[in-house]
Amino acid sequence: MPIFAIPFPMIDPVAVSVGPLVVRWYALAYVAGLLFGWLVARWMVGRQNLWGRTPPTDAGGLDDLLVLIAFGVVLGGRIGYVFFYNAEYYAAQPLEALMVWRGGMSFHGGLLGAIAGMCWFAWRRGQSVLPIFDLIGAVAPIGIFFGRIANFVNGELWGRVSDVPWAVIFPNAGPFPRHPSQIYEAALEGLLLFMIVQVAVRLGGLRRPGLVAGIFALGYGLARIVCEFFREPDAQIGFFADVITMGMILSLPLVAGGLILITTSVKQRTA
């Protein structure tokens, strides 16, 4: 154990409270992720030279798309948590699955919900879904970054016990210092991945449908697997084979799907 450990900064999870109205930092993180993602996506659809053809939507359509994605993320995130991480508990107490204010969201479930929203949007407009995947894949790391920072503020999804100098003693996680794995995820799945996909966009990645989405899927899957080595697994699940976590298992299809998208897209002729 280290001689010194960083005490957890006691940040009130409630950002604003006016009478019965309570606004939490977690909710603001969702809002910030959607807002900044919308701004970057709006910039992208306004530049036809990035696509080499007509962008997959205009500014008005983008607003409708983000509403569908936001709904899909919240609904899919909750359903994913219920089935992937705590199915036995919610099978015994199904009404608690509706109590989203008590926490419990799954990124992979939210991603499936977002994909469903994008597919619905593309189907209604009679167009290919791949350019839409590319558009959202280019901005999704923004939301991931703010979401992981909110996890840290809430003192949840903490890391494993560690003696690194920057280890943090989290409330409700026992007396031992732990990896601030939420910050690791914000850095890798958020900032670093955002820079990578934006470089791909500026190098003409959007001219090959599916390439940017594939880079996002592969990058997130690998980053999440790496971060899982520092993150404490959910207590009700624990480890598989003493080392594998549920987060790793759920990330493997993303790695495979990303490789398939990248391989397929690079074989296409650029727009």
Give binding residues as ranges: 148
Cβ within 8 Å of residue 133, ≥6 positions away: 115, 118, 210, 212, 213, 261
Residues in the chain: 271
Start-to-end CA distance of the chain, whole Å, equals 56
Rounded to whole angstroms, the Cα distance separating 88 from 235 reads 13
Q: Which residue has the tokens 């697994």?
A: 233
Rounded to whole angstroms, the Cα distance separating 190 from 46 reads 24
Rounded to whole angstroms, the Cα distance separating 231 from 135 reads 30
User: In this structure, are residues 107 and 152 in contact, taking their beta carbons and an 8 Å threshold?
Assistant: no
